[in-house]
Amino acid sequence: MRTFKFVSPYFLMAKQLTLDQRGRLAEKVMEWGNLVFAGLVIGQLISGAPFNLQIALGGIIGISGAYIVAILVMKGGGKK
């Protein structure tokens, strides 16, 4: 009996892209992560409002997740 392991459709799409296209996609995902971090963490620091740790953690998780996804996209979505 054949078993299938779950693979996200995003990673399947990454396997069909050329190396240059994967590089551009990964770059845009990382830029999105940078914007999330800047908006949620840096924005709090320069606004003068009380610092909210939950919002800052959301920014840190956002940038971390974006960079992890970008690395997976550059690798082609999985093991070769």
Domain segments of the chain as ranges: 19-75
Cα–Cα distance between 29 and 40 in angstroms, integer?
17
- Tell me what pLDDT residue 15 has: 60
Query: Are the CB atoms for 45 and 27 separated by under 8 Å?
Result: no
% of the chain at pLDDT higher than 90: 57
Is residue 28's pLDDT more than 70? yes
Q: Global pTM?
A: 0.72
Question: For residue 70, how far is the Cα from the chain centroid?
Answer: 5
- pLDDT band at residue 17 using 50, 70 and 90 as cut-offs: confident
For 37-56, write each residue's pLDDT tens digit.
Answer: 999 999 999 998 899 999 99
